[in-house]
Amino acid sequence: MKTLNQNLTRREFLRGIGRYSLLGLLGWLGLTLGRGLRRGKGTEYVWQIDPEKCTQCGRCATACVLSPSAVKCVHAYVVCGYCNLCGGYHQPNTKTPDTAAENQLCPTAALRRRFIEEPYYQYDVDEALCIGCAKCVKGCGSFGNGSLFLQVRHDRCANCNECAIAAQCPGEAFARVRRSRPYRLRGGVA
Amino acid sequence: MDMNRKEQIRWGAIWLTVAVVAVAAGLLIRARRQAALTTDPRTGELGGAFRLDVSALNRIDPGLVIGAEKEPIPALVESPHALALDAAGRLIVGGENEIAVIETNGVVRTRLPMPFAVRCVAADEDGTLYAGHVDHVGIYRTNGVPAVQWPSLGTNTVLTSIAVAGDNVWVADAGQRRVWRLDKQGRVLSRIGDKDDGKGGFIIPSPHFDLALGSVDELWVVDPGRHMVISFGRDGARRSAWGRGGADPEGFSGCCNPTDIAIRTDGSFVTSEKGLVRVKLYTPAGALMGVVAGPDKFDAEVRGLDLVVDGQGRILVLDPVRVQVRVFEVNVQTNK
């Protein structure tokens, strides 16, 4: 091999560029393939729930191979009314719409509320506590605007080829969606 | 007190039995609580603490039901949103693309194509129709006079109810959470419910915000977030209010109810709710008279039932899911 201070011929220069370009291309292909395999076993599709078909049966909490389930409640803030009395947060017969434990609907206290301005409150889901039982989703849909709904969270979903929840879903709400648009949100955003 | 051996054994057996029963009862209660909090190992389903059963709330005491349903009238228009009566007692039904004028026997009188979706509608004494589109009011006549579109009331406007009397037009705007009083040229005369009115304005969590004209120079406006119906003088001064939240028959359920009201000639109120879908009748003072129609009469996905009361005192309910005007007769007298 010639040293740096020796002159390269045009052919040698072009051959070098071609060689390093090929190496770069192979590296890029390898990285892309590896990332794809790591994410979803090479698939372009992931599992997701159609909120319009979900019947809040509770099986998302029990059927998932992960514990707790990869299905979590998510909140479409643009649809929420920020109500003081919230159908997703409070028990249906709550007399005083406050944060007392006996007035809260969520059995794991995964739904939290904070004061915004009189008389509006913001409701947030603590995903670490949410098990995807859909109790709040049913309450919000029955007595509110339906801004709470279930989604498969892809930061934890194993993306099984045969989704155990989909196999049991009575509303046939589970479907494969493109990985590039992995969520089916209400109100456009969550 | 001395006890012989036989008595000692007998008392010992009694206390032992009591202790065993107490421990067994405690274990049983604990097991039942655990079962309610965790997954049932036999069925694999969640325990009771993770389930919300609203069916009990959907049941209405038959003794409270005062409505009897009659033959419904087809609403005819696509996606019906708005219901009103004209001076001749005909039904005005507004939908996505048109307004239909229908006799109460179901005969169609007129169908007017609409340039915008109709969210609310009212008829003047001369037959002029005032339709609330999303952000403005349109004026339509059935005698061939061209329609007039008033200017928009703002980019955030969502008109949900309209009423006409004398020289005034009142419009409920759920988007800006206020009631507009306009003259018949579309000029704004005054507003009700601004946030700095000292009462905190209206709370409108969802696009259901209704108003109705009372018989005694008053305007009744629903404040759904507070579960109240509030009266204002036609000058905008607040007069009185009634209503409370609650899933019981007397209260208004959920986040924001009632969605719609109508006022009968005796001053009693008809209300409709979403979520727990109910049509109820209240005295002029706001005491429950009875349930006209319970959740069993409607499809669960119904969101908002526009109401009117016809000249015979019948309650007409626009059912957007079945695309019908449902007719209910009530068999009570108002005790003011």
Q: Does A102 touch chain B (CB under 8 A)?
A: no
Is the predicted pLDDT of residue B98 greater than 70, yes or no?
Answer: yes
Domain-embedded: residue B315: yes
Tell me, yes or no, whether B254 and B299 share the same domain: yes
Is the predicted pLDDT of residue B144 greater than 80, yes or no?
Answer: no
Is the predicted pLDDT of residue B35 greater than 80, yes or no?
Answer: no
Which residues of chain B have a CB within 8 Å of the CB of A143?
253-255, 275-276
The reported pLDDT for the residue numbered A38 is: 59
When pLDDT is averaged across residues B27-41 and rounded to a whole number, the result is 69
Q: What tens digit of pLDDT does each residue of A136-184 get?
A: 999 999 898 899 999 999 999 999 999 999 999 999 999 999 999 999 9
Is the predicted pLDDT of residue A7 greater than 80, yes or no?
Answer: no
Domain-embedded: residue B55: no
Domain-embedded: residue B83: yes
Tell me, yes or no, whether B191 and B268 share the same domain: yes
Which of A38-47, A160-169, B126-135 comes out lowest in average pLDDT?
A38-47
Interface test with B, best of A89, A142, A150, A165 (most B CBs within 10 A): A142
The reported pLDDT for the residue numbered A119 is: 86
When pLDDT is averaged across residues A45-74 and rounded to a whole number, the result is 94
Q: Which residue has better confidence, B94 or B301?
A: B94
Looking at the complex, report in whole angstroms how far the Cα of residue A144 sits from the nearest Cα belonging to chain B: 5
Nearest CB to B255; choose among A105, A131, A143: A143
3-state secondary structure of B17: helix
Q: What is the pTM of this model?
A: 0.79
Amino acid symbol at B241: A
- Rounded Cα distance between B86 and B244, Å, is 32
What residues does B122 pair with on adjacent strands?
B130
The reported pLDDT for the residue numbered B303 is: 86
Amino acid symbol at B119: R
The reported pLDDT for the residue numbered B41 is: 64
When pLDDT is averaged across residues B305-334 and rounded to a whole number, the result is 92
CATH number reported for the structural domain that contains residue B68 in this entry: 2.120.10.30
Nearest CB to B254; choose among A59, A87, A119: A87
Q: How many CB pairs under 8 A join A and B?
A: 79
Amino acid symbol at B266: D
Query: Which residues have a Cβ under 8 Å from the Cβ of B54 and sit 6 or more positions away?
Result: A92, A138, A142, B276
Tell me, yes or no, whether B132 and B26 share the same domain: no
Looking at the complex, report in whole angstroms how far the Cα of residue B92 sits from the nearest Cα belonging to chain A: 28
Could A133 and B57 be called an inter-chain contact, meaning their C-beta atoms sit closer than 8 Å? no
What chain A residue is nearest to B249 in terms of C-alpha separation?
A: A93
The sign one gets for the Cα dihedral B70, A142, B288, B270 is: negative
Amino acid symbol at B159: L
Amino acid symbol at A171: G
Output the average pLDDT for chain B.
91
Q: Does B265 touch chain A (CB under 8 A)?
A: no
One DSSP character per residue, B298-311 reads S-TT----EEEE-T
Looking at the complex, report in whole angstroms how far the Cα of residue A31 sits from the nearest Cα belonging to chain B: 42
What chain B residue is nearest to A146 in terms of C-alpha separation?
A: B275
Q: Does A87 touch chain B (CB under 8 A)?
A: yes
Could A85 and B255 be called an inter-chain contact, meaning their C-beta atoms sit closer than 8 Å? yes
Could A119 and B225 be called an inter-chain contact, meaning their C-beta atoms sit closer than 8 Å? yes
Element (H, E) at B73: strand B67-74
Domain-embedded: residue B297: yes
Which residues of chain A have a CB within 8 Å of the CB of B50?
58, 61, 107, 131, 133, 135
Domain-embedded: residue B336: no
The reported pLDDT for the residue numbered B178 is: 95
* Pick from B98, B178, B114: nearest CA to B149: B114
What residues does A123 pair with on adjacent strands?
A113
Could B255 and A86 be called an inter-chain contact, meaning their C-beta atoms sit closer than 8 Å? yes
Helix then strand count (H, E) for chain A reads: 4, 6
Other CB atoms within 10 Å distance of the CB of residue B299 = 11
Q: Does B253 touch chain A (CB under 8 A)?
A: yes
Which residues of chain A have a CB within 8 Å of the CB of B37?
107
* Burial (0-12, 13-18, 19+ Cβ within 10 Å), A17: exposed
Q: Does B275 touch chain A (CB under 8 A)?
A: yes
Tell me, yes or no, whether B36 and B119 share the same domain: no
Is the predicted pLDDT of residue B195 greater than 90, yes or no?
Answer: no
When pLDDT is averaged across residues B17-32 and rounded to a whole number, the result is 89
The reported pLDDT for the residue numbered A190 is: 43
When pLDDT is averaged across residues B263-284 and rounded to a whole number, the result is 95
When pLDDT is averaged across residues B28-47 and rounded to a whole number, the result is 70
- Rounded Cα distance between B313 and A125, Å, is 48
Domain-embedded: residue B258: yes
Write out the residue range of the structural domain in which residue B272 sits: 60-330
In the numeric block, the tokens 């010992």 are attached to B12
- Rounded Cα distance between B281 and B295, Å, is 15
Give me B327's structure tokens.
């007719």
Looking at the complex, report in whole angstroms how far the Cα of residue A35 sits from the nearest Cα belonging to chain B: 36
Which of A52-66, B21-35, B112-126, B232-246 comes out lowest in average pLDDT?
B21-35
Q: Does A139 touch chain B (CB under 8 A)?
A: yes
Nearest CB to A138; choose among B39, B52, B248: B52
Domain-embedded: residue B293: yes
Tell me, yes or no, whether B268 and B141 share the same domain: yes
Which residues of chain B have a CB within 8 Å of the CB of A80?
205
Tell me, yes or no, whether B120 and B34 share the same domain: no
Tell me, yes or no, whether B248 and B147 share the same domain: yes
Which residues of chain A have a CB within 8 Å of the CB of B54?
92, 138, 142
Give me B84's structure tokens.
């009103």
The proportion of chain A whose per-residue pLDDT surpasses 70, expressed as a percent, equals: 90
The reported pLDDT for the residue numbered A111 is: 97
Nearest CB to B203; choose among A119, A133, A135: A119
Tell me, yes or no, whether B38 and B116 share the same domain: no
Contact between A78 and B233 (Cβ < 8 Å): no
Task: For residue B297, report the phi and psi dihedrals to the nearest 5 degrees.
Answer: -85, -10
SS (H, E, C) A99-153: CCHHHECCCCCCEEEEEEECCEEEEEECCCCCCCCCHHHHHHHHHCCCCEEEEEC
Query: Which residues have a Cβ under 8 Å from the Cβ of B166 and sit 6 or more positions away?
Result: none
Q: What tens digit of pLDDT does each residue of B210-228 get?
A: 999 997 789 999 999 999 9
Could B52 and A59 be called an inter-chain contact, meaning their C-beta atoms sit closer than 8 Å? no
Is the predicted pLDDT of residue A3 greater than 70, yes or no?
Answer: no
Domain-embedded: residue B116: yes
3-state secondary structure of B24: helix
Which residues of chain B have a CB within 8 Å of the CB of A139?
52
Tell me, yes or no, whether B153 and B199 share the same domain: yes
The reported pLDDT for the residue numbered B113 is: 94
- Confirm whether the ipTM is greater than 0.85: no
Tell me, yes or no, whether B25 and B114 share the same domain: no
Tell me, yes or no, whether B232 and B258 share the same domain: yes
Domains in chain B, number:
2
Tell me, yes or no, whether B299 and B192 share the same domain: yes
What chain B residue is nearest to A144 in terms of C-alpha separation?
A: B255
The reported pLDDT for the residue numbered B36 is: 56
